[in-house]
Amino acid sequence: MKKPKKSNIFFWVLGGALLGIALVAFGWFLGQKDKQYNPYQELDAYKTTRHQYLVKSSEISVKMANRAVEALKNKDIKGAIEDCKTAIDIFPINAKPYILLAKLYLMTGQEQNLFDTLTLAGRSYPNFDNIVSIIDDVNLDKIPLDAPQGSVYLANFPENKKMAISFLFDDGEKDVYVNALPIFEKYGFRATVPVVAGYVADNSNDPFWGSWDDWKDAANRGFEIADHSMYHRDSQKLHGSDFDVSIDQAKALIEKNTGHKVTAYIFPHDSYNDEAVSRALREHEVVRSWEFLRSFYKRTEGITYGGPHFSVETANRLVDIAIKRRLWIVANCHGVTLKRGILSFKSITPALLEAHLAHIHSRSDDVWVDTFSDVFEYMSLRARTKIETKTFTEDSIDLVLHSGKPEGKLSEPVTVVIKTEAGVSLGSASGADGHILKAWACAADELCVDADAYEKTIHVQWKNPPA
């Protein structure tokens, strides 16, 4: 058999090498081209036709989500996250990029970004059940929680509960008064109803808006009626005297018609800027601004309840997650209708609310349910309170609460936690004038005391276990 010439072998090898280089270069070129791809630029060509724009938005969102999957395969987590964000921005109904983004944040321990993704999802109509379902306890438990510092500290929540939840029913729809309030009362809970003052009906026959008689009655029964502006205008589009009508006049109108003080301002559409926040805080003690709320309690999360893909299992799972992660959940709701309606944004049914509140009630040792302003009042109190330990022995402690304000009674007690040996039994807890304070063993090695005044010595006595 005739052997090939060495020159032919050389050319074959050279040709193969050049082909390999060409393929690598082509692959690199495609990769660079893909990196330079601008989805917004592609979408611009379809802006003139609404139907085509929506269809193309959906297609590009899917494309970006698939690109995020490929980036993840190549261990490009940063690229995958950015592609998911773009996919959501272009077409916020597609659940896949939310799911991928939540998974990425969970895997990498970015807890705040994980919950921000849930907040973002709640503002549109993706399958919320599917998004929440990927949050597993194994990965969640890997994210460290800040441990309390020191042997004496303030509890996150009253009675040392593990989470708080406030229900807000934006807009003041009639069905909230009819369907929701009795369910809250059944379980001994209260909620907040932010009403649009200019839309409140003058009589109780309006089929959509609640009336002043309704909201006055609700306030008399212990529910909070909050200010949700005069005409539901976007606060970022208000200027100058517009704020007087939207914020101040709305507050005055609500107070006049309900006979109760208004302390909370809830921005329409959850939209605000620094000017709007500053302006609202002139007349209100608290606003629904996540930056503002987190400056008092950093583990505050806003979650939208409702819509066709929001089940009671998902609602209950959110509470279980919040217990585990020590959250204050601000549950943003709208209508409570027998059938999910189209007039209300992502309404819920009375059956879902009933089942959810029953679940919360079953976890009442861990969950504090209260109005938006009442929970904030505790957070504000906790944030400004400092503890001075005067004496700390093996079986007693004397402490004083300070706030930088004159001596005085607290409007609501604040819970103080004292670390002790395991197995101690509580003797007593009292204020400076000898009055008895509520105190209990809140863990095997912790005692809890409900302090009720500033600048007054609190004495706690206990018994250590036999040696």
Residue 343 has a pLDDT of 76
pLDDT band at 22 (very low <50, low <70, confident <90, very high): very low
Question: pLDDT at residue 147 above 50?
Answer: yes
pLDDT band at 406 (very low <50, low <70, confident <90, very high): low
Question: pLDDT at residue 12 above 70?
Answer: no
Above pLDDT 70, what percent of the chain? 91
**What would the 3-class secondary structure string for the chain be?**
CCCCCHHHHHHHHHHHHHHHHHHHHHHHHHHHHHHCCCHHHHHHCCCCCHHHHHHHHHHHHHHHHHHHHHHHHCCCHHHHHHHHHHHHHHCCCCHHHHHHHHHHHHHCCCHHHHHHHHHHHHCCCCCHHHHHHCCCHHHHHCCCCCCCCCCEEECCCHHHCCEEEEEEECECEHHHHHHHHHHHHHCCCCCEEEECHHHCECCCCCCCECEHHHHHHHHHCCCEEEECCCCCCCHHHCCCCHHHHHHHHHHHHHHHHHCCCCCEECCHHHCCCHHHHHHHHHHCCEECCHHHHHCCCCCEEEEECCCCCCCHHHHHHHHHHHHHHCCEEEEEECCECCCCCCCCCCCECHHHHHHHHHHHHHCCCCEEECCHHHHHHHHHHHHHCEEEEEEECCCEEEEEEECCCCCEEEEEEEEEEEECCCCCEEEEEECCCCCECCEEEEECCEEEEEEEEECCEEEEEEECCCC
Question: pLDDT at residue 34 above 60?
Answer: no
Q: What domains does the chain contain, in order, with CATH numbers?
A: 35-141 (1.25.40.10), 162-364 (3.20.20.370), 384-463 (2.60.40)
Mean pLDDT of the chain: 90
165-179, 211-225, 425-439: the lowest-pLDDT one: 425-439
Residue 194 has a pLDDT of 98
Residue 30 has a pLDDT of 41
pLDDT band at 24 (very low <50, low <70, confident <90, very high): very low
| Each residue's pLDDT tens digit, 73-131 | 999 999 999 999 999 999 999 999 999 999 999 999 999 999 999 999 999 999 999 99
Question: pLDDT at residue 173 above 70?
Answer: yes
16-25, 81-90, 291-300, 366-375: the lowest-pLDDT one: 16-25
| Each residue's pLDDT tens digit, 348-365 | 999 999 999 999 999 999
Number of residues assigned to the chain: 467
Mean pLDDT over residues 214-232, rounded?
97
Above pLDDT 90, what percent of the chain? 78
| Each residue's pLDDT tens digit, 245-268 | 999 999 999 999 999 999 999 999
